[in-house]
Amino acid sequence: MATTDVAPSDPIRTEERETIVIRFCGDSGDGMQLAGSQMTNVSAVFGNDVSTLPDYPAEIRAPAGSLAGVSGFQLHFSSNDIYTPGDEVDTLVAMNPAALKTNIADLKRGGTLIVNSNAFESGDLKKAGYEANPLDDEELLAPFDVHKVEMTRLTRDSVEGLGLSPREAERCKNFFALGLVYWLYDRDDTPTRNWVSDKFASKPDIAEANLRALKGGQNFGVSTGSFRVHYRVPPAQLEPGRYRKITGNEALAIGLATSAKLADRPLFYAGYPITPASDILHELSKLKHFGVRTFQAEDEIAAMAATVGSAFAGEFSVTASSGPGICLKGEAMGLGVMTELPMVIVDVQRGGPSTGLPTKTEQSDLMLAMFGRNGESPLPIVAASTPGDCFWMAQEAMRIAVEFMTPVILLTDG
């Protein structure tokens, strides 16, 4: 367990790795999604291939510090082509005891564990179900390279003099953690600094606080002496071209609009808000200049009925939902089969039966798609293999629907 400081004169080794998996985890309000997305951006700009897995709590605002309220963001970046967000974690950043407890099992032996030691007070330990401080458990931490960092205190020190309240100062600790990880993996912080300046242009004090916290994390990595290794992941040998970060829902929306444009037909989308499919409605509503019309219905049945009506009127007609909503759409989907109308029904699959886990995805609705309607109402089913593939499968689903005059179900993971 590496917790002792190294003398400043000792050289820090630079070790080259082909691939790295990092996970940021903490409370829902700790900014872990932001930290992960910024690490993703700078890695993509650097030239690495990237794959991500945001992990939101399924509960509605679980109590702070509880196991149920842990939010995480996993990033896999590499100098080679990668196809998954990764399995075992190389570096785990845990902002509180609950985050440590729910994620430490995924950290590989010899992996780097960075914890916010200021968050391990008696009340925090109790909410996470710890009887004793796990940071004092040598048996638990022995397999890992452990760094106990007073992130809360160091963040406050970094933003001192800006007139922020203690609460406002603490909210910058995700940038402190991000700065430390940037130093550890030799990342250029320029894209993040530009993002902060643009995002908080109307709040210069908040922008300055976040930038100071980011720099504070980097300075800590340089000066602490506790990190013996500095990692570098070379750029991937990617095909020349323009690249962008994209989710399945974003790619799907662009694919649907592209399909309608190529066919010179208006696109109509009817939907009812449901996680994790709601982003399709959000993204398509931004594409009005491409002739896309969106309709937020009062419920899933109305959305499906509107989709059938739009198809009858000759438009490229689409609706989307998740498992519970697909169940409700079944009767109107059967009407689409009977009347031989072309339309696409997107099922962004969530985990679990019934209401399920809205913020978790799962590839579990194939049987529902095949047999979830009364009577004999067969229809084609296609599925996307990657977020980028959602762009192509949206067009393929629409092509099949128009060629064979039938509703088509498209299964995705969001």
pLDDT, residue 3, reads: 46
Place of tokens 């989710």: 247
Is the CB of residue 412 less than 8 Å from the CB of residue 384? Answer: yes
pLDDT, residue 259, reads: 95
Q: Return the domain boundaries, the chain.
A: 13-232, 248-412
Kindly list the distances between the CA atom of residue 171 and the CA atoms of 174, 213, 226, in Å, as whole numbers in the listed order. 7, 10, 25
Strand residues in 96-204 grouped as ranges (E): 107-116, 145-149
Give one DSSP letter per residue of 381-392, joined into a string.
Answer: EEE-SSTTHHHH
pLDDT, residue 29, reads: 86
Q: Looking at the domain that runs over 13-232, which CATH code has it been given? A: 3.40.920.10
CATH fold label, 248-412:
Rossmann fold (3.40.50)
How many Cα atoms sit within 13 Å of 396 on the Cβ side?
13
Beta pairing partners, 383: 411
Q: Rounded distance, CA 38 to CA 46, Å?
A: 12
pLDDT, residue 1, reads: 44
Q: Rounded distance, CA 245 to CA 390, Å?
A: 13
pLDDT, residue 361, reads: 87
Amino acid at 182: Y
**Helix, strand, coil % in the chain, rounded to nearest 5:** 45, 20, 35
Place of tokens 């242009």: 201
| pLDDT tens, the chain, 414 aa long | 444 444 455 678 889 999 999 999 999 889 999 999 999 999 999 999 999 999 988 777 788 889 989 999 999 999 999 989 999 999 999 999 999 999 999 999 999 999 999 999 999 999 999 999 999 999 999 999 999 999 999 999 999 999 899 999 999 999 999 999 999 999 999 999 999 999 999 999 999 999 999 999 999 999 888 888 889 999 998 888 888 888 999 999 999 999 999 999 999 999 999 999 999 999 999 999 999 999 999 999 999 999 999 999 999 999 999 999 999 999 999 999 999 999 999 999 998 899 888 888 889 999 999 999 999 999 999 999 999 999 999 999 999 999 999 999 999 987
Kindly list the distances between the CA atom of residue 51 and the CA atoms of 28, 144, 314, 387, in Å, as whole numbers in the listed order. 21, 24, 39, 10
The secondary element (H helix, E strand) that includes residue 371 is helix 366-371
Q: Rounded distance, CA 158 to CA 168, Å?
A: 13
Helix, strand counts (H, E) of the chain: 15, 16
pLDDT, residue 25, reads: 97
User: If we measure between CA atoms, which residue out of 369, 366, 387 comes closest to residue 377?
Assistant: 369
Q: Rounded distance, CA 173 to CA 171, Å?
A: 6
How many Cα atoms sit within 13 Å of 129 on the Cβ side?
8
Q: Rounded distance, CA 307 to CA 293, Å?
A: 12
User: If we measure between CA atoms, which residue out of 402, 410, 399 comes closest to residue 342?
Assistant: 402
pTM of the full predicted structure?
A: 0.83
Beta pairing partners, 49: 78
Q: Rounded distance, CA 247 to CA 282, Å?
A: 13
List Cβ neighbours of 89 (8 Å cut-off, separation of 6 or more).
21, 22, 23, 74, 103, 106, 107, 108, 111
The secondary element (H helix, E strand) that includes residue 78 is strand 70-78
User: If we measure between CA atoms, which residue out of 4, 3, 5, 43 comes closest to residue 22?
Assistant: 43
